[in-house]
Amino acid sequence: MTFYRGSWCPYCNLQLNAYREILGELEQEDVRLVAVSPMTPDNSLSFSEKLELPFTVLSDLGAEVAARYGLVFIVEGAYRDAHQAGGVELPQLNGDESGRLPASATFIIDRDRTVRFADVRGDYRWRLEPSALLAAVREFSAAAVAEL
């Protein structure tokens, strides 16, 4: 599960496109990729269709799930003004006035809902590389097989 800020974020788009490139390898490891943002369902669907994303894209209205993972920050003041000046209208995209966004984060969660791997970035420009995600998935898969 990977959290992203929204369709307006070029770094998020690069990351999701990079993850698309390794989707076949993830599926070979019996992994399903899910991307989550605070955008409304309509905006998430439009974004998913526009980028032709072949994995599940979910809406986390109000960033409630992101908050449970401790990922939420509030866009306010000059930061909110800069978003608006750049044409990013978070209230329209996210369907609320909260200004809540998730930090960039990727988790590997097993079937028992146990988080086996977490990568959380405080700087939105830096993301987990696809090769690092694959390595973590393979490490977890090998450990799970060893437990059998």
CATH architecture of the domain formed by 2-147: 3-Layer(aba) Sandwich (3.40)
The pTM (predicted TM-score) of the whole model is 0.91
Question: In sequence order, what are the residues at sequence separation of 6 or more whose Cβ sits closer than 8 angstroms to the Cβ of residue 100?
Answer: 38, 62, 63, 66, 67, 72, 73, 74, 75, 94
pLDDT digits (tens, 9 = 90+) for 99-117: 999 999 999 999 899 999 9
Residue 148 has pLDDT above 50, yes or no: no
The enclosing H or E element of 34 equals: strand 34-37
Per-residue DSSP letter, 103: P
Q: Per-residue confidence at 9, pLDDT binned at 50, 70, 90?
A: very high
Distance CA 146, CA 148 (A): 5
